[in-house]
Amino acid sequence: MDLIDVIKNRKSVRAFKSDPVSREQLEEILGLVINAPSAINLQPWEFVVVMGEEKQRLSRRLVKLYREKQISCSPGNVKPLAAQFSKRGAESFILMNPYLEKMGQEFNRFVNEGSCNFYGAPAAVIFCLDNAFSEARLVDIGIALGCFVLVAHHFGLSTCPIGLINAYEDDIKEMLNIPDNKDVVIGAAIGYADPQSPINEFKSPRDTLEHFVRWID
Ligand SMILES: Cc1cc2nc3c(=O)[nH]c(=O)nc-3n(C[C@H](O)[C@H](O)[C@H](O)COP(=O)(O)O)c2cc1C
């Protein structure tokens, strides 16, 4: 698929078919992702790929933890957000809600429990970073995530980044045997989109370029 088409058509998918994704497919995708740039070519990313029954077990445990702890998806800001950011966040709810109503789903429950369940995807990738690195290296993990969602789309697979799992980091590390010196940065669901699900008709909008750029020339 043409790169421009991949960039234009990729979107976060929030309903997956249970059809499995093979280890070979994931190896091919991650094998391309590791070509991403990184500071001083440190290649600091580490991936834990969870599939099959282990992925179901992880999802069940995370959904249970969500129900106990009620830690929800949030932007995680440390100061009040400027109006344009709050507006975009609120719009996500307003624009997604009609599709969820068609499914008889309530937004918060769908997004929080859905995220903990990786939206039913057959595989989850957990992006980790050695805690010897400074926070600056989170940029490198973000670049890897960006490559991951695009490469997956190129191969006909869909993804959804799952930041919420960060709130359950200690439990995830215990479940997946991730050493103490590794931080869980973000997860991603990967699998085949369920074309029957109304939520997959949703595509998030973007503001126009002038909102983001200040030219100095
Ligand atoms: C760092 C990061 C964390 C995210 N965490 C979640 C999450 O926990 N649950 C979820 O449903 N979507 C999550 N998303 C997906 C965003 O909501 C989505 O990228 C955004 O609404 C834009 O939509 P698009 O990906 O379809 O273009 C996350 C995306 C990023 C980049």
79-103 confidence digits (pLDDT tens): 888 889 888 888 888 999 999 999 9
Q: Give the number of the atom of ligand 1 that is nearest the alpha carbon of residue 111.
A: 11
Give the mutation target among 7, 141, 160, 197 for probing the ligand 1 site: most ligand atoms within 8 A of CB: 160
Mean pLDDT confidence for 94-123: 96
Query: Tens of pLDDT along 34-72?
Result: 999 999 999 999 999 999 999 999 999 999 999 998 877
Residue ranges lining ligand 1, Cβ < 6 Å? 11-12, 14, 73, 92, 111, 115, 160-164, 186, 204
Topology of domain 3-71+82-202, per CATH?
NADH Oxidase (3.40.109)
**In angstroms, what is the span from residue 25 Cα to ligand 1's centroid?**
23
Q: Give the number of the atom of ligand 1 that is nearest the alpha carbon of residue 13.
A: 26
Token pair recorded at residue 137: 């290296």
Q: Which of 20-29, 33-42, 74-83 has the lowest average pLDDT?
A: 74-83
What is the structure's pLDDT at 1?
A: 77
Where would I find the beta strands (DSSP E) of 16-95?
45-51
Q: Where are the domains of the chain?
A: 3-71+82-202
d(CA 92, CA 99): 12
**In angstroms, what is the span from residue 12 Cα to ligand 1's centroid?**
6
What is the structure's pLDDT at 75?
A: 76
**In angstroms, what is the span from residue 161 Cα to ligand 1's centroid?**
5
What is the structure's pLDDT at 76?
A: 75
Q: Whose CA is nearest to atom 28 of ligand 1?
A: 161
Token pair recorded at residue 126: 């957990």
Using CA atoms of 43, 45, 46, 52 in order, give the dihedral in degrees to the nearest 10.
-130
**In angstroms, what is the span from residue 216 Cα to ligand 1's centroid?**
31
Query: Tens of pLDDT along 172-215?
Result: 999 999 999 999 999 999 999 999 999 999 999 999 999 999 99
Token pair recorded at residue 92: 């996500």
**In angstroms, what is the span from residue 162 Cα to ligand 1's centroid?**
7
One-letter amino acid at 16 equals F
Helix (H, G, I), strand (E, B) or coil at 161: strand
